[in-house]
Amino acid sequence: MSKPDEDILDRAAAAALALAADRPWPQISLRDIAAKAEISLADLYALADSKGRIVDHLARRFDRAALATAAHEGDADLHDRLFDAAMARIEAMEPHRAALIAVAKADGPLPAARRLPRTARALLEAGGVEATPVRIAAMTAVWARVLQVWRDDEGALNRTMAELDKRLKTLRERLKQVGAGF
C-alpha cells in the first residue's frame, strides 16, 4: 500500500472513531466518514468499500503498536515481552475506548472474532514466539478474554493487566502440557 493510500485510511479511521464516539455506529455511513476525514468518497471507497474495512485498518494499526515493541525487547523474559506487546496494543486503543466499544457492540461478535487471530499472531511475533496454529489459537483465547476485561476496566487498567498476566501464565503452562510450549 502506498503512503497516500495509508494516509487516506488513517484519516478515515480517525474520522470513523470521532463519529462513533458521538453517534451510533449503524447511523454512520462511508459518506459521513469521508466528509469528516475531508477526503472524497471515491478515494475512500477505492481503499475501503465498507466500514468494516476501516475497522480492519484500525485493527492493523493497533497491531503495529504491539509489533513495535519487538524492536525494544532486549533481554526481557518471554512473559514480559508478550505482556508488553499486548499492553502496547491496549494503550494504543485506550484513547478510543468509547468508540471502539460502540463499534464492537453494533457490529456484534463475528467481525471482531474474525480479527482476533491476526492480533494473536502479531502479539506472538512481537514477543518473539513462533506463531504456530496451536499457539495462535491459544493466544486468540487469551486476547479475547483480555479484551472483555478491558471493556469494563476503566481507570488505570489494573484489572486488564492482572487478567493479562494471569492468562499469559496459564497459556504458557497449557501449551507445555500439549507439547506446543515456548
- pLDDT (tens digit per residue) in 132-155: 999 999 999 999 999 999 999 887
Phi/psi-derived region of residue 128, left when phi > 0, alpha when psi is between -120 and 50, beta in every other case:
left
What is the model's pLDDT at position 177? 87
Domains in the chain: boundaries: 54-177
Whether 32 shows a pLDDT value over 90: the answer reads yes
Q: Dihedral (C-alpha) 111, 112, 118, 120: value to the nearest 10 degrees? A: -160
Q: Using 50, 70 and 90 to split pLDDT, how confident is the model at 156?
A: confident
Q: What is the mean pLDDT of residues 48-59?
A: 96
pTM of the model: 0.90
Among the ranges given (4-13, 64-73, 122-131), the one the predictor scored with the smallest mean pLDDT: 64-73
Return all residues near 155 (Cβ < 8 A) that are at least 6 apart. Answer: none
Torsion of CA 33, 38, 43, 48, to 10 degrees: -30
What is the predicted pLDDT for the residue at 73? 59
Distance CA 26, CA 18 (A): 14
Cell 485510511 sits on residue: 9
Place of cell 447511523: 27
